[in-house]
Every structure is written in C-alpha cells, then in structure tokens.
Amino acid sequence: MGDHVVTAAVPAGLPAGADDLSVWPASTTRLPDGDLAVGGVSLSELADRFDTPAYVLDEAEVRGRCRTYRDAFPDTDVLYAAKAFLSRAMVRWVREEGLGLDVCSAGELELAVTSGFPAERVVLHGNAKSPRDLEAALRLGVGRIVIDGPSEIARIAAAVGPGGRQKVMVRVVPGISAGGHDKIRTGTDDQKFGLSLADGSAQHAIARILGQPRLELTGLHCHIGSQITEVKPYLVALRRMVGLMARVHDAHGVALPELDLGGGHGIAYRPGEPVLDLTALARRLRAGLIESCAAAGLPVPRLAVEPGRAVAGPAGVALYRVLAVKRTGEKVFVAVDGGMSDNPRPALYGVRYAPRLIGRRSTAEPRTATVVGRHCEAGDILAADAELPGDIRPGDLLAVPVAGAYQLSMASGYNLVGRPPVIAVHEGTATTLMRRETLDDFRSRDIGG
C-alpha cells in the first residue's frame, strides 16, 4: 500500500497535489484521457457498464490491509469490524486472510456464519442486544459476547440455560476522549456504551460475572472512539485496562487472559491528512503491555484489535455522474446522481472527501466547488471545498476515493433513490457483489396498499 504504479506523467497544467493518488487503492493507475484504473479495471468503463452511482471495491486492497494487520500484530487477534462494510465476499476475504470478526447484530452474525465464517472467531457487541441477537449468538455458537451493561449479566446467563457456559467479555469505559468527531467518541462516561471504570461499575459487573457459573469471563474490552490518528490514547487506555485487570486479580485471584482494545484506527480521506501508524501502534502496545503487566505482577494477556475503517475504507471508490452545475454568487454546486442516501458521513460528521474528475482530461483552471447530492435537503453535501476543474459539466464522471467504510453500511432508502451496486475489482476483472436496489425492491416490501 502507499506506493502507486505511475503509468503516465503528471498531466501538465494541474496544480501540485491535484493529481495525488496517495489515498487511492495501491492498484490505482493512470490511464490516458484522465481515466484511472483500480484493480486493473478502468473506472469510466465501470461507470458505463454498471451505471452510476456505483461503488467499486478493490479486493487486493482489502486483502493487503488484512495482511498489513497480521504482519504488524503477529501475536494479536485482529477482528474486522463488520459494521464498516459487510458482504459475503468481504466475509470470505477476511476469513481467508486469517482475521476474526466483530459484529453487533444478529443480521451481521447470521450473514457471516451462513457465508462460512467460523462462529467461534466472532465477537458480538451492542449496547442494546435484542432477544434475537442473543438467540442467534447462542444458537450459532459465537466466540465471545461483550457485556455492555449490568442488566445483560442475568439476561445472558438465563439465555445460556442450565449446564451451558458462554464466553463473555466486559466493555469498559476507560475515561479517555479520543476520535475524529463527537458522535464517534466512546471512551468517556457521557455516552451510552460500556461500564465505567471511574465509578466502579465495571469492577462491580466483573465481580457479578465471576460469580455466574454460566458465564466464563475471558477478558476486558474497550473501544475509545473512531478515526483516531495518534498512538497515545491507546497507550493510556491500555494502562488503565491493565490497572483494572490488576484490581480484579487482587480482589478475585483471577488473571483474565484477554484484552481487546477495539478499533478506531484513523485513515486519510484526503491527501496529506494524518493516518494512525499501525506499526508504531503495534510495537508500543506490545511494549506497554509487557511493562504494565510486569509492574502489576500479571501474566501478559492476549491482545485483540478491531479495525473496521482501516481495512475497508481505502479499498472503496464511489462513482457518480454529474447531473447539474450551478453557480450562485461565489459558490459552485456540482450536483451528482447519488448523495446522502449512499454516503451520510459528510452530513453526520462533517467529513471532507477529495472527488476527482475521471474519464476526460481537462486543462481548465481548478475551482473550489461543493459537490452535492440529489436529495431534497440542503445538508445533502458529498464534498465541501472540492478542487475540481473549472469546466466541470453535466455528464462528467466523479470518483471519490476512501469510500469503502461506513458509507454503504449506513446507506438509506431516502427519496427511493435506491442503494448503488457494489462491484469488486481484481486483476482486471469486475464482479458484482451487490446489485443496485430498484423500485421493485421497494415495492416488494411495501405490502400495505
């Protein structure tokens, strides 16, 4: 990853950085006439063949990112966070690359297991697990259930039934503020997830679980937030979690064998943005773990991490066609055929993307434009402050890199536009993973008329 094969010189007339492919999949190459190929397939050909909007997923990039994790974290369980993006092919790729899976619903769990993923390598999360979630977890034999609140202890034990025993972990809130946006910070006590370290509720829950013969407490879990680009908050979390493990050891004589530090590893959406250094994270976590366990007189637990975005995000590219261009005062609005129904992230978190004109070469001066969607609200923005050629016009194609995580998994049926297809590209071949959602799909659910 990172090094791109350059097949053509940077086109003359483009400002520095405008042709930067650093956030694109490693397989991306420049083709003549301003086109790009990903996974050996031309993006404008994909747009013609599958229509737009469409999402392209580079299999080699997903697999490469899984391998980067396996190499960086050799003695750690790496669980892919399915919420970032899940499909049957994704399940297979992640399984073949030796990762585990983090799921947070019966739906994600059933899809994974029915696609051949071993249930014992799956961890189930959720702050409000439904009866169906728990039923599926126990029926399919999920590896771990992460207890998120005190009421789950008796509920899960009752669901396990006499003679049964389920492996569980406890989600702890270590009191750390980290993450790219308020809505994705989960390490402090003012949000809905987990049990507080500070007020003793985590320790209290642990004591109750240890007294519950149908539950086997394998370890502790925390997930401090998402889109974190520094190692430091993870080290602070690690030390606090080991501190709690030491207190559990003192109070109950139990050395918990596992410590799951969640995901949240930050990536760049636009060239030049900071990225979490995974090698540094792995090295410093390992050193910090050994040191704090030695200081606490604890055996070193097995670590787990749960990356979602950093596996799937950079492997995806969204393709749109420009439908309208409007100039109002100082602003240029470039409206495309998708929008917040396929990518609600800018509207929710104010995230910035770097769309790029593909399929024709423009020599026009770049202008700052706002790329908007086709939905009926003003907040339907896909890319604020995008640098696009000044002659952008209806019919042009835009490609948005880093579109693989939390876009389609959060897509909606707003305005009955329908969710785009997902096309896997690999070694010059394009395969449909998910077809486009059609009016017939909407009609078939609408059975009340």
Whichever of 278 and 369 has its CB closer to ligand LLP, that residue is: 278
Could you tell me the CA-to-CA distances from 236 to 224, 230, 231, 241 in Å, in that order?
10, 11, 9, 9
Q: Structure tokens of 190?
A: 């003012």
Asked if 265 is part of the footprint of ligand LLP (rule: CB under 6 A), the reply reads yes
Q: How many residues bind ligand LLP (CB under 6 A)?
A: 22
Distance CA 436, CA 420 (A): 5
Residue from the set 81, 159, 259, 335 that interacts with ligand LLP by CB under 6 A = 81
Q: Rule CB under 6 A: which of 245-264 touch ligand LLP?
A: 262-264
Least distance between ligand LLP and beta carbon 173 (Å): 12
Q: Which of 66, 104, 222, 376 is catalytic?
A: 376
Burial of residue 242 (number of CB atoms within 10 Å: 0-12, 13-18, 19+) = buried
What sign has the CA pseudo-torsion 193, 199, 203, 204? negative
For 195, the 3-state DSSP assignment is strand
User: What's the length of the chain?
Assistant: 449
3-state secondary structure 317-352: EEEEEEEEEEEECCEEEEEECCCCCCCCHHHHHCCC
Q: Count CB atoms within 10 A of the CB of residue 346.
A: 21
Q: Rule CB under 6 A: which of 47-76 touch ligand LLP?
A: none
Distance CA 224, CA 44 (A): 40
Segment contacting ligand LLP by CB under 6 A, of 114-122, 205-213, 247-255, 301-309: 301-309
Least distance between ligand LLP and beta carbon 293 (Å): 23
Segment contacting ligand LLP by CB under 6 A, of 114-122, 295-303, 305-313, 369-377: 305-313
Q: Which residues sit opposite 333 in a β-bridge?
A: 326, 370
Q: Which residues sit opposite 184 in a β-bridge?
A: none
Least distance between ligand LLP and beta carbon 221 (Å): 7
Q: Rule CB under 6 A: which of 332-361 touch ligand LLP?
A: 345, 349
Residue from the set 59, 77, 97, 102 that interacts with ligand LLP by CB under 6 A = 102
Asked if 148 is part of the footprint of ligand LLP (rule: CB under 6 A), the reply reads no
Backbone angles phi, psi at 128, to 5 degrees: -145, 80
Instruction: Report the run of H or E that residue 36 belongs to, with start and end.
Output: strand 36-38
Whichever of 59 and 306 has its CB closer to ligand LLP, that residue is: 306
- Specify whether 376 is catalytic: yes
Whichever of 56 and 101 has its CB closer to ligand LLP, that residue is: 101
Segment contacting ligand LLP by CB under 6 A, of 22-30, 60-68, 222-230, 435-443: 222-230
Asked if 223 is part of the footprint of ligand LLP (rule: CB under 6 A), the reply reads yes
Catalytic residues: 376
Interaction site with ligand LLP (CB under 6 A): 81, 83-84, 102, 125, 184, 223, 226-227, 262-265, 306-310, 345, 349, 406, 410
